């Protein structure tokens, strides 16, 4: 695992992980534009990422609890194997994110651009996608349950080998989506 931004050590080898998390959180609060940033394996609770612009960065293996991302913009950011619990994503503009193997539980995505995002192997539970553009996203081999896609553009979205339970696609254009889903 790479070193945390501004440190010689990764999170798992940090002498005082709580101090590192405070330092990273302070940096994020003070800087609305972040690029080439490593914050892997850290915890973010009750943090407001609203209006942030994050580019070419990695939060792989991190935990986000009750965080707000309203109006955030991200491009080429890695969140693989991270957890998002009770987070809010309104009016976000996300392109080319990697969310492979993530846990997304009780989150809301609303009025957002979610373009070319990899949700491969994700476990998505009790989550709502409303009025989103999900063009060319991949949910390959994901587990999706108790989740709704309401009025979403799912053109070219790939659900190949995904397992689903209680999914709703109300008023979403599913005509060009790729479905091969199994029941959970």
Residues 6+ apart with CB under 8 A from 178: 156, 157, 158, 159, 160
Distance of CA 131 to the CA centre of its chain: 17
Q: Which of 26, 64, 28, 21 is nearest to 45 (CA)?
A: 64
79: CATH:
2.160.20.80
Residues 159 and 181 sit within 8 Å (Cβ to Cβ): yes
Q: Note whether residue 167 is domain-resident.
A: yes
**Of the candidate ranges 7-16, 25-34, 148-157, the one whose mean pLDDT is the lowest:** 7-16
CA of 176: how far to CAs of 39, 65, 134, in Å?
Answer: 36, 34, 12
Instruction: Show the domain range for 38.
Output: 30-183
Q: How many domains does the chain have?
A: 1
* 55 within some domain: yes
Confirm whether 62 is domain-assigned. Answer: yes
Question: Has residue 22 been placed in a domain?
Answer: no
* CA–CA distance, 109 with 72 (Å, rounded to integer): 12
The predicted-structure confidence for 50-95, as pLDDT tens digits, reads as follows: 999 999 999 999 999 999 999 999 999 999 999 999 999 999 999 9
Residue 76 inside a domain? The answer is yes
What band does 2 get if pLDDT is binned at 50, 70 and 90? low
Please indicate, yes or no, if residue 16 is contained in any of the structural domains: no
Considering only 1-5, 6-10, 116-120, 165-169, which range has the smallest mean pLDDT?
A: 1-5
Please check whether residue 142 lies inside any domain of the structure: yes
Nearest-angstrom CA–CA distance, 177 and 157: 5
């Amino acid at each position: 695992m790479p070193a945390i931004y501004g440190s010689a050590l990764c999170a798992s080898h940090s002498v005082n992980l709580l101090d590192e998390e405070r330092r990273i959180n302070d940096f994020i609060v003070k800087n609305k534009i972040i690029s080439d940033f490593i914050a892997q394996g850290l915890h973010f609770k009750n943090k407001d990422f609203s209006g942030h612009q994050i580019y070419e960065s990695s939060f792989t293996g991190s935990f986000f609890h009750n965080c707000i991302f309203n109006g955030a913009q991200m491009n080429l950011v890695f969140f693989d194997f991270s957890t998002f619990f009770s987070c809010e994503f309104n009016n976000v503009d996300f392109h080319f994110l990697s969310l492979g193997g993530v846990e997304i539980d009780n989150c809301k995505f609303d009025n957002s651009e979610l373009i070319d995002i990899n949700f491969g192997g994700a476990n998505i539970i009790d989550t709502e996608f409303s009025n989103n553009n999900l063009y060319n996203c991949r949910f390959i081999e994901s587990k999706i349950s108790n989740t709704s896609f309401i009025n979403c553009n799912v053109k070219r979205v790939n659900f190949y080998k995904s397992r689903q339970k209680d999914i709703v696609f109300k008023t979403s254009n599913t005509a060009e989506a790729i479905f091969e889903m199994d029941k959970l």
